[in-house]
Amino acid sequence: MTTSDRWDVTQSARVPGILGAARRAPAATAYPVGTVPPAQDSPPMANRPQDSSPSSRSELNAWLVEEMYEQYREDPDALSKGWQEFFADYRPDEAGSTTNGSTVTPEASPAPRKAVAAVPEDGPDPERIRGVAARIVENMETSLGVPTATSVRDVPAKLLEVNRRIINNYLRRTRGGKVSFTHLIAYAMVKAVETVPAMKNTFAEAEEGKPGLLRPESFGLGLAVDIENDDGSRTLMVPVIKDADTLSFEGFLRAYEDVIRKIRLKKLDPAMFSGGTITLTNPGTIGTVHSVPRLMSGQAAILGVGAINYPAEYQAADTRTLAKLGVGKVITLTSTYDHRVIQGAESGMYLSRVHELLLGKDGFYDEVFSSLGLPYEPARWRTDSTDVDSQTDLLSKQMKVGQLANMYRVRGHLIADLDPLRQRPPEMHPELDPTYHGLSIWDLDRDFLTDVGGSTQKMALGDILGVLRDAYCRTIGIEYGHVLDPEEKAWIREQVEGVDEDVPPEDQLWILERLNAAEAFESFLHTKYVGQKRFGL
């Protein structure tokens, strides 16, 4: 093994995921006259052009190596310690290599014809593409060597919307933070690999250059992140969540936000870009409905997430009409996979499993809620059963909404958040579950007459439940069903239903002052009357 070959092995073991095209081609070997060189289709193991590990062949972040290397040459101290160690023995590609003291230039093979536009003789000269953009061109052309196919599936987004709203409302009231649609969809995609493990298979070369298959025990999820540069241009980076399939949802959420924060703050490290097997891209954030992204060499699959919206034929309709008809938003998911090691049926089964998880099958949302410490049960998927042309059906649901509101006033305290130690799993009381009354998630956007929150008015069922849960099911449980005086019950409802939760800054300062005074008085009592029994404030 030559020195250059040894460098290839050690460097790819250190940061395999970002080398890709930046790795050096093996040294050409000079053979004595009269001997027959090995066949080209069965190169020796030490002289293979690339390492067989999938991560070492990834082209996604190869441009980053070149850019960081230029910065290293100008000012090594400007880079982090990890990059300095990486570039300590790094050497860029060279045109030729040396064997036994003589320079041998590999025989050039004819380059494939590229798809280029014809340049008019009287037109402007083409502008040369340089730097990162040139590396992207090279990566895209390299990706053409990967035979791919794409599966597409539309998934209802209604339950995803409802449960995300429940999660974020709880986080807003407690520790802060926010869960995005991408967080939940990405986690469902990771969990779906457990059912269809073929989706993490990668193509590799076996002995004698024969096609091979790698089946990793765990995999990293790459996140395609679009970065806007200072000059207005855009750059794609693909950091990796390591061992994504071993994380709980909370651990996955923390890892996701950690890599995104480092990218935004430009705190880059070589280890961030290695180990990716499946990549997630979300063009839906800019309104793209359906995307078929390119699959880079060394990757098993790349998953695309489209925009969440109503079907195009309904986007001009009134939202009240859509709610009445039970028309919900949908999301288009795509799976572009390496067809050499993943078959179309497997990709289709994989998207079907993602579909099932996003509809709550096998306790997907229960796991998410439990991981985040939510003291509630998630909403459940149920088909709509409303007859929009039947007045009897509409009146029946109106009556059931009134019954549901009364149950929250009487038994809402039974699901209040009164267990900070989480010693018992959350359990929904049957009479507080809308499905018990024949209501479903499709009724949440429909308007009903109600006296919740004050005077009689029309409100969407989702808003009615929000007011009732804020009043009776948060960190204070209120029970007044035993009160017989109607005026007293009406007064209690006025004080708790629909009350503005926002506390002005001056009131917050007053509360803080009173708490500090109480704490000071508590400390005084503890010092003055040591060992005496007393009630704490």
**Each residue of 45-79: b (16+ CB within 10 Å) or e?**
eeeeebbbbbbbbbbbbbbbbbebbeebeeeeeeb
CB 169 within 8 A of CB 105: no
**What is the per-residue pLDDT for 105?**
41
User: What global pTM score does this model have?
Assistant: 0.74
Q: Using 50, 70 and 90 to split pLDDT, how confident is the model at 200?
A: very high
Q: Answer whether residue 122 shows pLDDT above 70.
A: yes
**What is the per-residue pLDDT for 339?**
92
* Mean pLDDT, residues 150-154 taken together: 94
Q: Is 370 exposed, middle or buried (0-12, 13-18, 19+ CB in 10 A)?
A: middle
The single residue listed with the structure tokens 């320079």 is: 103
CB 82 within 8 A of CB 270: yes
> Could you report the per-residue pLDDT of 164-177, keeping only the tens digit for each?
999 999 898 888 88
**What is the per-residue pLDDT for 346?**
95
Q: Please, what is the average pLDDT of the chain?
A: 80
The gap from C-alpha 283 to its chain's centroid, in whole angstroms, comes to 13
Rg of the chain over Cα atoms, rounded to whole angstroms, equals: 31
Check if 355 is active-site.
no
* Mean pLDDT, residues 303-314 taken together: 92
Three-state SS for 71-109 is HHHHCHHHCCHHHHHHHCCCCCCCCCEEECCEEECCCCC
146-372 is a CATH 3.30.559.10 domain: yes
Cα 299-221-257 angle, rounded to 5 deg: 150
SS3 for 166? helix
Classify strands 234-237 and 330-338 as parallel, antiparallel or unpaired.
Answer: unpaired
**What is the per-residue pLDDT for 115?**
66
> Could you report the per-residue pLDDT of 358-405, keeping only the tens digit for each?
999 999 999 999 999 888 889 999 988 888 777 888 899 999 999 999
Overall CATH class of domain 391-496: mainly alpha
* Mean pLDDT, residues 101-126 taken together: 58
**What is the C-alpha separation between 253 and 257, in angstroms, rounded?**
6
**What is the per-residue pLDDT for 347?**
94
> Could you report the per-residue pLDDT of 454-510, keeping only the tens digit for each?
778 899 999 999 999 988 988 888 888 888 999 999 899 988 988 877 788 899 899
**What is the C-alpha separation between 501 and 327, in angstroms, rounded?**
33
Q: Residues 290, 339, 355, 429: which is the catalytic one?
A: 339
The gap from C-alpha 216 to its chain's centroid, in whole angstroms, comes to 21
Q: Is 253 exposed, middle or buried (0-12, 13-18, 19+ CB in 10 A)?
A: buried
Q: Answer whether residue 442 shows pLDDT above 90.
A: yes
Report the percentage of the chain scoring pLDDT > 90. Answer: 37
> Could you report the per-residue pLDDT of 238-271, keeping only the tens digit for each?
889 999 999 999 999 999 999 999 888 888 777 7
8-state DSSP, 309 = B
